[in-house]
Amino acid sequence: LFSFIACQCLAQSNTDESKVQPYTLPDVLKMPDGKRVTNSREWQLKQRPYIYRLFEENQFGRFPATKTAIRFRVMESDRNALDGIATRKQVRIWLHPSDSTVYADVLLYIPNNVKKPPVFIALNFSGNHTVSTDKHIALSTRWVSSRAKGGVNNRATEASRGADTASWQLHTLLQKGFALATAYCGDWETDTVTGYQTGIRTTMKDILNIQPNEWGAMGAWAWGLSRIVDYLQQDKAVDARKIALIGHSRLGKAALWAGASDQRIALVISNESGEGGAAISRRWYGETVKIINNNFPHWFGAKYRTYGDSVNTLPVDAHMLLSLIAPRPLYVASAEDDKWSDPKGEFLSAFEAGKVYALFGKQGIETDKMPEPNQPVGETVRYHLRTGRHAVTVYDWQQYLEFASREFGK
Ligand code: GCU
């Protein structure tokens, strides 16, 4: 009977804190032989690879290890973009050695008054042309969600330009001396159940030596982020040792997996990534493993779908995903009205990840008491609960730019 009740619950979402059942988190420092990790060397050499594999097996599926010969070309550039404050580049990354239809387009803005600036990388939800009203940005020709502003029959139109400028704060970012590199997640895989059929999980399967069902859309997006890093490493106009990755919501989940998978990424920001991202899955609050897999069966690996009714047997949880970012700076953020993402679950996993940062002599969040809204806490692991809804706002960017400036010693 008890398990029957549990099953019923997990298919529903809860937003009543008093109904959250006690749970026990897997101990991130407990090694397979039962001993506990005591130093950073042991973490890096043994425990980190072990936990990483647990995530591959149980949540995200495989991350392709095969190196591919990708090619880049700057398709367009202008040193006088945005009234002269930045250089714009539009770079095409060809992912497949012989099929020239398999590519992704990266939009870059580099501030003109800074030599080799640090760079924010991010995927966007509906095309590069949504990031700014700059008319020179190529309009995406891919499928876009029917929720995308200005879209007609799932295609962008001129009315889609600048649809999402509020989430980017491009001018502020450039003024603070950062570059931005962004690409449409749909260039790797469109966000639909059948998106994999035309995305890289299919077109790259032979090259990457991996079948489409061995990973999910999250993996494809995360892998795509690493290809942006590949490009940046050979673009001398930016400092590729200072790459900050930011992702919001579903793209925040992908960002955490990319940050865990690619240690060239120097700083990671999860903006309201919620279930499958920064939020503790074992906490029955907001979205659940069962709900997310029902609604988005294409996002994660197949095994993740088997934990819908038995989340307590999942060998991993969000605090372990965040720990894979250590010792690199990590910022986790929630919004008060975004109960679906479980703010407290995001805070608690960020707090827990501090145990791994401590092995490196880095300070995480000091107390497990949830901070008041708009009161950022923590050092190398930082957290805030913003007032308001599910979004990336001016307030969020202010915190992230300050954090990245401090961590990058700017
Ligand atoms: C849905 C989904 C979330 C996701 C969000 C988003 O609400 O359930 O897991 O984070 O979409 O990407 O905006």
3-state SS, one letter per residue, for the chain: CHHHHHHHHHCCCECCHHHCCCCCCCCCCECCCCCECCCHHHHHHHHHHHHHHHHHHHHHECCCCCCCCCEEEEEEEEEEHHHHCEEEEEEEEECCCCCCCCEEEEEEEEECCCCCCCEEEEEECCCHHHCCCCCCCCCCCCCCCCCCCCCECCECCHHHCCCCHHHCCHHHHHHCCCEEEEEEHHHCCCCCCCHHHCCHHHHCHHHHCCCHHHECHHHHHHHHHHHHHHHHHCCCCCCCCCEEEEEECHHHHHHHHHHHHCCCCCEEEEECCCCCCCCCCCCCCECCHHHHHHHCCCCCCHHHHHHCCCHHHCCCCHHHHHHCCCCCCEEEEEECCCHHHCHHHHHHHHHHHHHHHHHCCCCCCCCCCCCCCCCCEECCEEEEEECCCCCCCHHHHHHHHHHHHHHCCC
Residue 386 CA to residue 101 CA, distance in Å, equals 42
Q: How far is the CA of 250 from the centre of ligand 1 (A)?
A: 5
Ligand 1 pocket check for 299: Cβ under 6 Å: no
Ligand 1 pocket check for 261: Cβ under 6 Å: no
Residue 363 CA to residue 5 CA, distance in Å, equals 40
Ligand 1 pocket check for 185: Cβ under 6 Å: no
Q: How far is the CA of 222 from the centre of ligand 1 (A)?
A: 16
Contact by Cβ (8 Å): 251, 290: no
- Closest atom of ligand 1 relative to the 273 alpha carbon: 10
Q: What is the pLDDT of residue 369?
A: 98
Ligand 1 pocket check for 217: Cβ under 6 Å: no
Ligand 1, pocket-test mutation among 123, 218, 257, 340, most atoms within 8 A of CB: 340
The two structure tokens encoding residue 103: 């590519």
Q: What is the pLDDT of residue 295?
A: 98
Residue 165 CA to residue 134 CA, distance in Å, equals 10
Q: What is the pLDDT of residue 9?
A: 66
Which residue is listed with tokens 């897999």?
A: 293
Residues annotated as catalytic (active site), given as ranges: 249, 390
The greatest distance separating any two alpha carbons of the chain, rounded to the nearest whole angstrom, comes to 68
Ligand 1 pocket check for 290: Cβ under 6 Å: no
Ligand 1 pocket check for 285: Cβ under 6 Å: no
Q: How far is the CA of 37 from the centre of ligand 1 (A)?
A: 34
- Closest atom of ligand 1 relative to the 250 alpha carbon: 12
Total residue count of the chain as it appears in this document: 410
Q: How far is the CA of 123 from the centre of ligand 1 (A)?
A: 15
Q: How far is the CA of 249 from the centre of ligand 1 (A)?
A: 6
Ligand 1 pocket check for 250: Cβ under 6 Å: yes
pLDDT digit of tens for each residue in the chain (410 aa)?
Answer: 444 445 556 789 999 999 999 999 999 999 999 999 999 999 999 999 999 999 999 999 999 988 888 999 999 999 999 999 999 999 999 999 999 999 999 999 999 999 999 999 999 999 999 999 999 999 999 999 999 999 999 999 999 999 999 999 999 999 999 999 999 999 999 999 999 999 999 999 999 999 999 999 999 999 999 999 999 999 999 999 999 999 999 999 999 999 999 999 999 999 999 999 999 999 999 999 999 999 999 999 999 999 999 999 999 999 999 999 999 999 999 999 999 999 999 999 999 999 999 999 999 999 999 999 999 999 999 999 999 999 999 999 999 999 999 999 97
Which residue is listed with tokens 């095409």?
A: 92
